[in-house]
Amino acid sequence: MSNILHVGLNCIEPILDMPTNHSIPNKRWHLAFTAIYSSRALYSLLNQKKKKSRKLPVPSNPSFVVLDVKPEAFSSIDHTTLTAIVKEKNFNKLLEFGGIEGVADALETGIKNGIDGSVNDVALRQEAFGSNTYQRPPAKRLFHFVVEAFKDLTILILIFCAAPSLGFGIKENGAKEGWYDGGSIFVAVFLVISVSAVSNFRQNRQFENLSKVSNNIKVDVVRNWRRQQISIFEVVVGDVVCLKIGDQVPADGLFLDGHSLQVDESSTTGESNHVEINSHHNPFLVSGTKVADGYAQMLVTSVGMNTTWGEMMSTISRDTNEQTPLQARLYKLTSSIGKAGLVVAFLVLVVLLVRYFTGNTEDGNGNQEFNGSNTKANDVVNSVVRIIAAAVTIVVVAIPEGLPLAVTLTLAYSMKRMMADQAMVRKLSACETMGSATTICTDKTGTLTLNQMKVTKFWLGQDPIEDSSLISTDLLNLIQQGVALNTTGSVYRATSGSNYEFSGSPTEKAILSWAVLELDMVMEILIKDFTILHVEAFNSEKKRSGVSMSEADHNTVHVHWKGAAEMILAMCSSYYDASGRMKDMDDGERTTFEQIIQDMAAGSLRCIAFAHKQIPEEEHEIRETSQKLEEDSLTLIGLVGIKDPCRPGVRKAVEDCQYAGVNVKMITGDNVFTARAIATECGILRPDQGINNEAVVEGEVFRNYTPEERMEKVDKIQVMARSSPFDKLLMVQCLKQKGHVVAVTGDGTNDAPALKEADIGLSMGIQGTEVAKECSDIIILDDNFASVATVLKWGRCVYNNIQKFIQFQLTVNVAALVINFVAAISAGEVPLTAVQLLWVNLIMDTLGALALATEQPTKELMERPPVVRTEPLITNIMWRNLLVQALYQIVVLLTLQFKGESIFGVNEKVKDTLIFNTFVLCQVFNEFNARKLEKKNVFKGIHENKLFLGIIGITIILQVVMVEFLKKFADTERLNWGQWGACLGIAAVSWPLGWVVKCIPVSKKPFLSYLRW
């Protein structure tokens, strides 16, 4: 019944809308008529309840009316039609809806105060219109990665050999023991596929999680008069969203209010031209587009899957198969080693087949294996399959398929740890490229400083003002107008006794809080008293913003400007003194003002000036056609100095980068004196480097250099002040031309070209616009330069960890290849069986990669110069280390192969076990050597890497199990304590050998260059 009484109000609203000037009798008649009308309407509804209701206009003399009953919320609006109107940008149909105001009323939204915003209200809107999320394609399951792993050629070859080996083994030796060779290959294949699939699956999930974090954009909305930040996923239909330059439009909607709004719709239409949005011709805003200029408030009409962007994004999945440059180089290295392995395996195959078919091999009883036609076909096939399996196993141990796995593990691990260190990686290649960075071009505000701004100085005329009560009333009004109406920020206060909440950019918040708390500005009253006529929004090129406004019952227009002090000063021809009198500004007084600005800037203050001009309304109407504000002959109102302290620890972070051979340059839009003061405080400049030094330059000066001058001076420049985004881009291009690997930080929309041009683009997570974030490779979540230094350290760590594993892996490959090849050629048998080689390959590829790929950054990494991108992946130091260790293992193991039986007084089976055990333990000890490529103390910091110690322990335990308990499976014999001690002693020599070999100097010329003709 409550629904029945509630609905149909649209039909009777004109009747209920009583004029206030009716007489009392008229009012009574009107109320009586309303009561009769309502009763008849209710009676009609009850009589028609079994019929389908439909909406009819109220007839002139109705005997009854049919009301449209819609018990659900927001029933007065057809949301499907509204969604289509915005998507199709149909202005005429929007007018049929009652225009923007009609839509806002239907959505129960106040144009000024927004929605109620209570939990129930938001839940009701989500139920009625949906949430602002879109369906993603289902994530790839583990099975997908298992199938991908099966496509590896090496795996296919192993399976091809394992099947006949298993069949013939069972036929020859029975199911109980005949499955060992073939089964072991299947087990190895299963383990390799499992590790590879699980690793890739986890990395894919990590990318999905990072994608969710990066898509969780913060949006400014107005709810119940209060401007607040919420997640983009919490935006609902009816919300009033505040947009500024660089923002992403979070949903489909309509333009409510704003100025000079232009959006980049290239993400949805492909057109690069900016589209102007206004309430008269094109009020339609589409989700996924970016604000290119101006600011506005929009009314959300569709969210999530009801938007064009939602439909499009639901079909797109992030590609996690990005191959980094390092992975490409490793693939090339793996391919080269694989080819060498194939050659060796083919030679071993030929030698073993020749020896078998010429009768030079014997079985376990000392009988000749092949005896012409007397040998059974089954025996021949079994022997051939065994020989092929041995050759294939050599291929497996030769191909370092653990290298791609090591890179995947390293990158995945470093990405996870960097996330904890306030750096979110968007592009994998940035992890490793950062290790090669030679120059970092950083912003000042928020990166080197705290971005906690406060007005600390205020000048009226040429006098500093400490007490606001001394300011004349007229001048105070002008200041308040210039602050309240020329801003993109806002002020909110819940009750008269509660604290103020300020929103907007840090600079805007600092000025607003100063004006409200110290000048007693009441923003709401000023906004009501004045009408905004035209706005020129602030951007990083103009470095100023302006507004023209008219006051009710006045025939004059006020123009207010606010911005960089020296730029506003250049537009002024007069000024107000402290008493409020206007005075002409001559050259001497202009010089005085310039000195005041310089003094404030030298004290690390950001200087903002306010200026004003009053013009007749007729003159403004003439100028209005050009849509340009008055910029000449302004009157300077006053100057404010805003303090933004340096971040704690930023000086040390800068010094760490400089010590690591990375040059730090500061590029800022601030005054040259402010820039120099902050740069000196942060350690970028020495105290003796003044503004006349080549280390400090203004953007305009740099821009006006000839190309030759720029190339000559760019290395010397440490600070660029008053720079535009184009200047930043120009500097990045010059540095890259000189061979630098450049990392750039940026937060604004106009920083996008420089972020894209740089080798590594670093955007700011807090102050950064969505455009800047999209163009970057890494997002610095806390906007802190110390996090940039951490990213640098991790970049070097990634490269270093991969080099460690390459050295370790190649030592195993070289030793195994040479031992098996020499033994096969000379003795006709392979000392390391298929099962043993697969075991070595497995523990070295997977456990070794896991142990070395998860080493954390050390201080030593920042003591080296940046990695040169053209530097060989395997350095001379690595060649020295791995060749000496491999040579030692080859000598020892071949000695055991040919003299082991007589040295230890054991049979051939025990000798082969000794070779296998010594070989594995050598790799375990050599894993410690691989931790440090250059440093002699390989145990430094080992207690901090619990994972490494755990993997070493697991490897040793598994080796004991293989030798002592899986004798038949691994084709081994149990060893006594003395034999175990001998194996450990031989393997332990790797440590002193590693220490000695690091004393040998190496040439800087790449080792492989000596092999070229």
Residue 343: the pLDDT is 84
3-state secondary structure of 220: strand
The reply to whether the predicted model has a pTM over 0.85 is no
744 by DSSP, 3-state: which? strand
pLDDT at 588: 93
The residue count for the chain: 1013
Contacts of 93 (CB under 8 A, 6+ apart): 81, 85
- β-strand 760-764 against 742-746: which pairing, if any? parallel
pLDDT, position 761: 92
Assess contact for 87 and 285: CB atoms under 8 A.
Answer: no
Name which of 14, 222, 219, 9 is nearest 110 in CA terms: 222
CA neighbor of 926 nearest in space, from 876, 990, 870: 990
Separation between Cα atoms, residue 609 and residue 564, nearest integer Å: 6
- pLDDT at 482 (0 to 100): 94
The pLDDT of residue 20 is 42
Quote the tokens at residue 475: 């001048």
pLDDT of the residue at 238 = 93
What is the pLDDT, as a whole number, of residue 69?
38
Please check whether residue 28 is in contact with residue 3, taking contact to mean a CB–CB distance below 8 angstroms: no
Rg of the chain, C-alpha, whole Å: 38
Longest dimension (CA), the chain: 130
Q: Is 443 a catalytic residue?
A: yes
Are 85 and 102 in contact by the 8 Å Cβ rule? The answer is: no
Model pLDDT, residue 836: 81
Number of other residues whose CB lies within 10 A of the CB of residue 139: 12
Side chain identity at 1004, as an amino acid letter?
K
**What are the Cα distances from residue 12, in Å, to 34, 76, 144, 801, 905?**
9, 14, 62, 77, 111
Distance CA 111, CA 253 (A): 13
958-993 residue pLDDT tens? 999 989 988 877 788 999 999 999 999 999 999 999
Question: Which residues face 939 on adjacent strands?
Answer: none
DSSP run (H or E) holding 461: none
- Calculate ∠ Cα 452-458-463, nearest 5°: 160
- DSSP string covering 537-602, please? ---TTT-EEEEEEEETT--EEEEEEEEEHHHHHHTEEEEE-TTS-EEE--HHHHHHHHHHHHHHHH
Residues 6+ apart with CB under 8 A from 162: 182, 183, 185, 186, 189, 389
C-beta separation of 101 from 111 below 8 A: yes
Residues of the chain with pLDDT under 50: 1-37, 40-71, 317-318, 320, 1012-1013
Catalytic one among 181, 443, 670, 845? 443
pLDDT at 307: 85
Cβ–Cβ under 8 Å, residues 722 and 741:
no
